[in-house]
Structure 1
């Protein structure tokens, strides 16, 4: 079907469950940004992260909605289905993280000296952020492919969605590494950092390749076989890093098994090492689940913009 046929505006962008979810995303994003800017406020690295996450997601959703409503996505050299579900998954992760971080650092049960207005605004921000998380989650559910289904959009499969989560978890690991983790003390921990960076780059490459151009083959391998090979390699690498990192950080021969009492809150290398260890195990589990799910899908190529 010709993408130029029919009306210029896409009524399904508004009059559909998917359109309603995106409208809710924009409404909650706008409300959160407005309330934080008006009275709720933010400060420090935690507040900056939350504000950046909300603003980015709001701008991203507005752009996606506009391109979908005007059908201008048909002029882009992108796989629209893959792009939109990737954006929805990323929005879900950013919103859920901000929904946890903001109340943890900025909401208190007692009223500040200036009155309860600021506290009430911050509670409202948290509620709207949670509702925004649900709206992004609904879009992911609406676009997600079912197990065993032959699909044209790889990112709509469980394996594709896990790729987004893996990249997000890797970013958390990089943030902890940069926060005084002292990873350069041993060659083994430097190896772990190389593993994290390599796996992140490889996973990002798969996502970008899928979004930018539908792929049947990568060199001599079918695309789905190439993804399985990459995922198996990442599972093995993360398994090694998940064993090596705790040994060289928490064994008494190389590090400290328990948190030092003199360590400052928020700037303690031991805390950063613990975060890296926990999220390394988490990403190992995600890559393992990805490898299992990848056996159940059959990916087929589609035109660059599948929806009409």
Structure 2
């Protein structure tokens, strides 16, 4: 017999600001996918990315809402609070990207050959995508740990959220590296690619340890100190890559400081090199901010969920 007192369904999954944010995510995500498949349409790699991002976020939101409403999270071998805020942060980044890419490639002021209805649907898709971004951002804000609060759910802290952004930026770097960046031309640029991959893997390990509730797996040091050590290593590695990559890509001795004119947009090695350089500096700044914040972080390991759901 189940000894838990109270209803089987979690009323807070509906009657709470967090529940309202998730319902908005479901409604807006359903609206976006329906309008795109009905009339707005999508094509090319940009359209496929946007559609994949919307479908992935919608599927994750459905699973999160269902599991939270039925209290099935108690059967999962994960830290539910860390998992949900990680998913919400990642979905926010995906929706932000899709909300920029879709109108940039598919929305025009004049009516396309399909008619003005298609243009209007695409505008509506963009608006709903932006609103869904705000809904996911609201979930992150509601779950974020407040200053002075005892930290149990690491992913709800600024440091944990920065880990998600760092991983997302690293994925952009990998995409640019694979898009004809010619990174295998020099040993130095290969070193930079290895740095990006190693730092991404190290960040993923920290996130997975937290989501799986294995924060006591590091026996030689506390988890918060382990995070600081990893972040400091990543800062140093990204600092070296942020210096080496521009030198070997844009110095006239090794590469080209200017974009050559007969170079197709979207398939130009110089463009990919610029993207890698820019986002390398962005991720370096994110790791520095993460390191600064981690100095004040004191993580409390506990087997008790961070939010007591009645």
Counterpart of 2:136?
136
SS state of the match for residue 36, structure 2? helix
What pairs up with 1:10-29 in 2 under 5 angstroms? Answer: 10-29=10-29
8 Å CA contact 1:73–1:305 kept in 2: the answer is no
What pairs up with 1:107-146 in 2 under 5 angstroms? Answer: 107-146=107-146
Counterpart of 1:233?
233
* Structure-2 separation of matches of 1:4 and 1:160: 32
* Structure-1 separation of matches of 2:148 and 2:48: 42
SS state of the match for residue 241, structure 2? helix
Any runs of at least 4 consecutive aligned residues in structure 1 with deviations exceeding 4 A, and if so which? none
Bigger Cα displacement from structure 2, 298-307 vs 55-64: 298-307
8 Å CA contact 1:79–1:304 kept in 2: the answer is no
What pairs up with 1:86-97 in 2 under 5 angstroms? Answer: 86-97=86-97
TM-score, scaled to structure 2: 0.97
What pairs up with 1:200-279 in 2 under 5 angstroms? Answer: 200-216=200-216, 218-279=218-279
- Decide whether aligned partners of structure 1 residues 304 and 203 sit closer, same or farther in structure 2, where only a CA change above 3 A counts: farther
- Decide whether aligned partners of structure 1 residues 302 and 32 sit closer, same or farther in structure 2, where only a CA change above 3 A counts: same
* Structure-1 separation of matches of 2:206 and 2:51: 29
Q: CA deviation at 1:301?
A: 1.1
Bigger Cα displacement from structure 2, 211-220 vs 90-99: 211-220
* Structure-2 separation of matches of 1:148 and 1:292: 16
SS state of the match for residue 282, structure 2? helix
SS state of the match for residue 149, structure 1? coil
Q: Structure 2: give runs of 5+ residues left out of the alignment.
A: none
Deviations for 1:172-192, whole angstroms, at most 9, x for unmatched residues? 000000000000000000000
8 Å CA contact 1:218–1:226 kept in 2: the answer is yes
Deviations for 1:189-235, whole angstroms, at most 9, x for unmatched residues? 00000000000000001000100124135121100000000000000
Counterpart of 2:299?
299
* Structure-1 separation of matches of 2:8 and 2:143: 23
Q: CA deviation at 1:297?
A: 1.7
TM-score, scaled to structure 1: 0.97
Q: CA deviation at 1:278?
A: 0.2
* Structure-2 separation of matches of 1:65 and 1:26: 9
Counterpart of 2:77?
77
Deviations for 1:25-57, whole angstroms, at most 9, x for unmatched residues? 011110000100111000111000000000000
* Structure-2 separation of matches of 1:149 and 1:252: 52
* Structure-1 separation of matches of 2:214 and 2:230: 18
Deviations for 1:142-165, whole angstroms, at most 9, x for unmatched residues? 000123432110000000000000
SS state of the match for residue 30, structure 1? helix
Q: Which has the higher contact order (CA 8 A, sep 6+)?
A: 1
Counterpart of 2:44?
44
What pairs up with 1:61-76 in 2 under 5 angstroms? Answer: 61-76=61-76
